[in-house]
Amino acid sequence: MFRDKALSDADLNLLADTVLAFEQEDYPVGPASITGTIARVKFINKRTRFAVFVVNPDESELLIVVTCYCVRHLGPGLRVVAKGSWQYHEEFGAQVAAETMQLSLPVG
């Protein structure tokens, strides 16, 4: 189809949009509420307090990446209730952008 000529900018944009749509097809969208245990902290910017961490939800074996701006210390084993929305990051995939978050010590 494209063998005989170089791709136009319009063709490249259409191809990129199609690939992105396929990548996003299996990802959740809309509001999110995650309750579980922090499995690991991937990143914290000490200046802005932006954090990326992984949660093991209570009723699932899947791990969910959560991003937020937090004022408290995060660490593995802490219980978390994060509410926000699902987002798709081109490099990192599906993640929850938390708008509110409650942290507590692990139970028992």
What pLDDT does residue 26 have?
Answer: 66
The domains of the chain, with CATH numbers, are: 28-104 (2.40.50.140)
38 burial (CB, 10 Å; 0-12 / 13-18 / 19+) is: buried
Tokens at residue 4, please? 């005989």
Do 102 and 35 touch, CB atoms closer than 8 A?
no
Q: Which residues of the chain have pLDDT under 70?
A: 1-5, 7, 15-27, 108
What pLDDT does residue 10 have?
Answer: 80
* H or E element at residue 26: none
What pLDDT does residue 92 have?
Answer: 85
Predicted structure pTM score: 0.73
What pLDDT does residue 34 have?
Answer: 94
What pLDDT does residue 4 have?
Answer: 61
What pLDDT does residue 27 have?
Answer: 67
